[in-house]
């Protein structure tokens, strides 16, 4: 039997205003809370509420045989607490079934793992405590922002005590190996990597509503036949995608929730397919090989590297300036650090991407700005505002 490992990412950033709000103090001057709330409430209505109800029903109807996993970013979790508590209750209800694993990640969905400072460890500890407090269990699986991994990151994750880590099953990571096996990153002794099968995952996340796709409309029995055709006996198939796929990116009227239900029920009826969480799969299956990962691999864009966030000079300049300010933000206190961390959310540099072809279309779909340059200017203004605030605080303290 092959484990189907369904992992859903839940993330909403704190989007920036195009211009700072005059007369507004604190974080509200830079972050567009009206837009953030409207997006969160819309996605909760379209996706989180109905999809959570569906997953709970599937778990109950199957006696817990259906199992899945979530990673909620700290920014999404805060917005759910503030603006959609009913949707958050739905996630808590899923945790109480015992059939859903909640993963840890960086608290603010940042690129801190790429930097040498201790911010990465601070954010992971913060997020781990919060997930345990909200969902009642300490995470043992870690999901880095955008599935970014290399050997150094893997060693840091293992050093924090995590046992499993989902990664992108890209050729540049696997080097001709199969994505339905477990792997150990070079330099680690305990951490297990669970690759994403990006073909099957993207069939749902990106191609489901594409009328130009040869397999449209995708039917659940056909999809399950594809899964069964993979020689993954005593292996697993990692189906990882944004949770917003179900009702937001792929509209409900296109049948995405019906497909999910039919796919799950159909898989449960087949002898060669079952469901497991990442932690369960990591404990059950053997490690197939050790993987060298000299360069970072992610799940974004065609090249599956860091180009989605650091591919042009605007992005690199923004990233350098941000992390140069981290020591001062840390020293300045909780409000300045929260401002910094909201700016460190990877979405901000993602919006600055000038990637070509279909990659740019994806960046533009998520961006609240009219252009990468506009995203850069808004970010630079917010970062300069933070720096000025820190300097003003230091000057007042000196007096």
- What are 31-83's pLDDT values in tens digits? 999 999 999 999 999 999 999 999 999 999 999 999 999 999 999 999 999 99
Distance CA(332)–CA(344), nearest Å, equals: 16
Which band of pLDDT confidence, cut at 50, 70 and 90, is reported for residue 27? confident
105 and 200 belong to one structural domain: yes
> Global pTM?
0.95
CB atoms within 10 A of CB 102: 23
The yes-or-no verdict on residue 128 having pLDDT over 60 is yes
What is the mean pLDDT of the segment spanning 219-225?
Answer: 98
183 and 95 belong to one structural domain: yes
143 and 9 belong to one structural domain: yes
Residue 263 lies in a domain: yes
362 and 280 belong to one structural domain: no
Select from 216, 223, 220, 256 the least CA-distant residue to 237: 223
Helices (H) and strands (E) in the chain, counts: 18, 11
Which band of pLDDT confidence, cut at 50, 70 and 90, is reported for residue 394? low
Residue 280 lies in a domain: yes
**Where residue 217 sits, what CATH number does that domain have?**
3.20.110.20
The yes-or-no verdict on residue 26 having pLDDT over 90 is no
Q: Which of 256, 291, 326 is the last residue of a domain?
A: 291
CB 43 within 8 A of CB 12: yes
> Catalytic residue at 151?
no
Which band of pLDDT confidence, cut at 50, 70 and 90, is reported for residue 392? confident
116 and 191 belong to one structural domain: yes
Helix runs in 136-205, H state only: 151-159, 171-174, 198-205
Residue 398 lies in a domain: no
283 and 361 belong to one structural domain: no
**Residues 6+ positions from 112 with CB-CB distance below 8 Å:** 106, 119, 120, 123, 344
Active-site choice (101, 119, 123, 146): 146
What is the mean pLDDT of the segment spanning 351-372?
Answer: 88
Q: Which of 291, 317, 347 is the last residue of a domain?
A: 291
316 and 244 belong to one structural domain: no
| Structural domain harbouring 47 | 2-291
pLDDT value, residue 102: 98
Strand 287-291 with 273-275, pairing: unpaired
pLDDT value, residue 357: 74
For 265-287, the DSSP string reads HHHHTSTTEEE--HHHHHHHSPE
Which band of pLDDT confidence, cut at 50, 70 and 90, is reported for residue 232? confident
The yes-or-no verdict on residue 22 having pLDDT over 80 is no
Residue 230 lies in a domain: yes
Average model confidence (pLDDT) across the chain = 95
The yes-or-no verdict on residue 388 having pLDDT over 60 is yes
Which band of pLDDT confidence, cut at 50, 70 and 90, is reported for residue 395? very low
pLDDT value, residue 25: 67
Residue 296 lies in a domain: no
Q: How many domains does the chain have?
A: 2
Query: Cα dist. 197→43, 118, 216, 236 in Å?
Result: 26, 32, 20, 9
Distance CA(321)–CA(386), nearest Å, equals: 12
Residue 147 lies in a domain: yes
84 and 215 belong to one structural domain: yes
Distance CA(6)–CA(150), nearest Å, equals: 23
Q: Which of 265, 291, 317 is the last residue of a domain?
A: 291
What pLDDT, in 10s, does the model give residues 170-205?
999 999 999 999 999 999 999 999 999 999 999 999
What pLDDT, in 10s, does the model give residues 289-335?
999 999 999 999 889 999 999 999 999 999 999 999 999 999 999 99
What is the mean pLDDT of the segment spanning 21-29?
Answer: 76
Residue 38 lies in a domain: yes
133 and 221 belong to one structural domain: yes
190 and 325 belong to one structural domain: no
Phi, psi of 281 (to 5 degrees): -65, -40
Select from 36, 11, 46, 7 the least CA-distant residue to 250: 46
pLDDT value, residue 356: 77
257 and 351 belong to one structural domain: no
354 and 206 belong to one structural domain: no
Distance CA(143)–CA(160), nearest Å, equals: 13
pLDDT value, residue 359: 73
Residue 111 lies in a domain: yes
The yes-or-no verdict on residue 208 having pLDDT over 90 is yes
The yes-or-no verdict on residue 396 having pLDDT over 60 is no
Phi, psi of 387 (to 5 degrees): -65, -40
């Amino acid at each position: 039997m092959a484990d189907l490992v369904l992992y859903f990412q839940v993330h909403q950033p704190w989007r920036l205003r195009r211009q700072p709000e005059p007369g507004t103090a604190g974080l509200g001057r830079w972050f567009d809370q009206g837009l953030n709330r409207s997006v969160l409430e819309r996605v909760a209505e379209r996706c989180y509420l109905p999809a959570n109800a569906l997953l709970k029903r599937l778990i109950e109807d199957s006696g817990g045989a259906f199992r899945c996993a979530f990673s909620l970013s700290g920014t999404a979790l805060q917005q759910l607490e503030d603006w959609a508590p009913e949707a958050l209750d739905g996630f808590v209800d899923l945790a109480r079934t015992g059939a859903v694993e909640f993963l840890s990640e960086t608290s603010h969905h940042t690129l801190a793992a790429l930097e040498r400072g201790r911010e990465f460890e601070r954010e992971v500890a913060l997020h781990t405590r919060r997930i345990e407090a909200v969902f009642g269990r300490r995470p043992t699986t870690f999901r880095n922002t955008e599935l970014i991994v290399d050997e150094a990151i893997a060693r840091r994750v293992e050093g924090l005590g995590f046992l499993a880590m989902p990664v992108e099953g890209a050729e540049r990571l696997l080097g001709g190996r199969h994505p339905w096996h477990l792997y150990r990153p070079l330099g680690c002794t305990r951490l297990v990597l669970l690759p994403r099968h990006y073909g099957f995952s993207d069939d749902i996340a990106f191609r489901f509503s594409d009328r130009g796709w040869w397999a449209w409309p995708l039917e659940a029995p056909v999809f399950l036949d594809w899964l069964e055709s993979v020689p993954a006996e005593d292996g697993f198939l990692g189906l990882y995608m944004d949770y917003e796929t179900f009702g937001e990116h792929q509209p409900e009227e296109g049948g995405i929730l019906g497909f999910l239900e039919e796919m799950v029920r159909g898989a449960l009826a087949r002898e060669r397919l079952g469901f497991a969480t990442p932690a369960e799969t990591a404990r059950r299956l053997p490690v197939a090989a050790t993987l060298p990962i000299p360069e970072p691999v992610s799940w974004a864009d065609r090249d599956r590297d860091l180009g989605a966030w650091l591919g042009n000079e605007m992005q690199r300049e923004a990233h350098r300036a941000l992390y140069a300010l981290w020591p001062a933000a840390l020293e300045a206190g909780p409000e300045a650090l929260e401002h910094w961390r909201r700016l460190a959310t990877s979405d901000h540099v993602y919006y600055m991407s000038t990637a070509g072809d279909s990659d740019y279309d994806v960046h533009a779909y998520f961006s609240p700005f009219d252009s990468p340059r506009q995203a850069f200017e808004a970010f630079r203004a917010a970062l300069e505002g933070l720096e000025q605030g820190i300097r003003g605080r230091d000057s007042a303290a000196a007096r």
